[in-house]
Chains A and B, each alone.
Chain A
């Protein structure tokens, strides 16, 4: 348990929040049925939360109960089930609005995930407002989901994508960003927390500069919302995107926060049911926000589950989640650095509980297989961030990403599995 308690909490977490005690973590783990199993004859150590987090029973039950008792289509029928489904779905939106402190529910568009949210911005805003020669600044740290949609819309409009450099410790280079600004800069696409390295970018200062110059700010918050309180009004960004499944909620759910004036000015992206008021062959009137951007029947059960996930993290407290994960990060960093030949990729001063690493002489994929045989689940590969791998000149990394329900014992299990890999290979 060394390092588990008494770790100084940095500015990225609430000043006086304490990590959960070992007893509290044990109680919280009881909420997650999936964690209590053996994999390849060893207790599961699930350290792949950055790819997808696990679900507390309350989320699983909320989805199942909805299907058992309330399922119907929403915003349509006058019958009781349809009304119940609509109420539950809109209640989830309300929770999400409060969760990120959006001004109103009109600013909370429900999507399939971060990827769809960013594609929506790139297509609905970008295709309408980008001109040939306009410049889109995308940090080199971005997940492909905050890069490829901009490349696509650049091709469609004649705009140009320019990479913002990163520093050797894996943070987006603020000076490099300032140096790239021109009168043609129109968009800043930036991750709040890097999925591949765990860097917490100081996005506030980037947003402040962009706002002064009227540059659209698009923040990928997929890796941030599960680990820290996010207030979109305090951040001052134009758009903020995140996914439900990294927040202990169902897959196929996501959120796009957008400033209302921008959303009003944007044309719809997809057309169909629910996003219209009146349809005639002579012309169609679109629905009001947020429904204008929500064509077709959504993942109703999924969002009800996501609402339950938001309730869960708010009940246990994001500040204590952050403090707990910070303690895990410190303990894991120290333990991993003691493994001979292990190098951590991404050493920024402010990091979420994500550690990308390589081990001399062992390819990350071999590590992934060997760790799996020891019951340890980590992600290996390029983490949908190939420009990051290129920058650090590695083909891939292994990545351990922690949630509040992980324990120091699981980190010890990871380190033991790495020693086993070294014995096999070195």
Chain B
């Protein structure tokens, strides 16, 4: 295992300069919170929808390079796509995290940079937290969750 497989330049760059770092007003946006109780990392993800289209995603939180870069890459991968496309991308990413030898789907694009975590099982949760939190924010949109009680996702 090479550390550079985990800490690729794309990851280091998104850690240092996270894209779409900030908040969105709720409503009209929907929010979910993510927490990794093991390490104390916390994350907030906001998603703005126009019908089926994800028009904006922002995130805030404290976390390691892997979790920050994963969240940052995720916002780029989601904005401007339909919910169905975001869901398909979630499944591709999830597959990368959970299947050690699965070939990398070319549709992952830049997200393939996250594949390095597969060799570091203790760090998979760091990379997946943002994605589960985005899913929860989208679910909150469906449930029309009151703004005062955003759902909270915990990695296990």
Contacts and interface: CB of A to CB of B under 8 A. Distances in A.
Interface of A: 40, 361-366, 369-370, 373, 380-382, 386, 389, 395-396, 424-425
Contacts of A424: 3, 7, 12
Contacts of A396: 39-41
Contacts of B38: 381
A40 B3 CA distance: 11
B126 A365 contact: yes
Contact of B41 (A40, A361, A386, A395): A395
B150 interface: no
B39 A382 contact: yes
A366 B62 CA distance: 13
A366 B42 CA distance: 16
Given A363-B64, A425-B12, A373 B3 contact: yes
Interface of B: 1, 3, 6-7, 12, 16, 38-42, 62-66, 68, 120, 122-123, 126
A380 B39 contact: yes
Contacts of B66: 365-366
Given A395-B62, A425-B12, A365 B7 contact: no
A364 B126 CA distance: 12
Contacts of A380: 39
Contacts of A363: 63-65, 68
A365 B122 CA distance: 10
Contacts, number: 50
B123 to A, nearest CB: 6
Contact of B40 (A370, A373, A389): A389
A361 B42 CA distance: 17
A365 B64 contact: yes
Nearest to B12: A425
A369 B120 contact: yes
Given A396-B40, A424-B7, 7 more contacts: A364-B64, A366-B7, A366-B64, A369-B3, A369-B123, A382-B40, A396-B41
Residue from B6, B7, B16, B39 with most neighbouring chain A CB atoms (10 Å): B39
A48 to B, nearest CB: 14
Contacts of A365: 39, 41, 63-64, 66, 123, 126
A40 B40 contact: no
Given A370-B3, A373-B3, A395 B40 contact: yes
Given A40-B1, A373-B3, A424-B3, A381 B40 contact: yes
B65 to A, nearest CB: 5
A364 B67 CA distance: 12
A380 B63 CA distance: 12
A337 to B, nearest CB: 24
A425 B7 CA distance: 9
Contacts of B1: 40, 373
Contacts of B123: 365, 369
A389 B39 CA distance: 11
A40 B38 CA distance: 24
Contacts of A362: 65
Contacts of B41: 365, 395-396
28 contacts: A362-B65, A363-B64, A363-B65, A363-B68, A365-B63, A365-B66, A365-B123, A365-B126, A366-B7, A366-B64, A366-B66, A369-B122, A373-B3, A380-B39, A381-B38, A381-B39, A381-B40, A382-B40, A386-B40, A389-B40, A395-B39, A395-B40, A395-B42, A395-B62, A395-B63, A396-B40, A424-B3, A424-B7
Contacts of B16: 361
Contacts of A395: 39-42, 62-63
A363 B7 CA distance: 13
B63 A369 contact: no
B42 to A, nearest CB: 8
Contacts of A361: 16
A373 B1 CA distance: 8
A417 B39 CA distance: 21
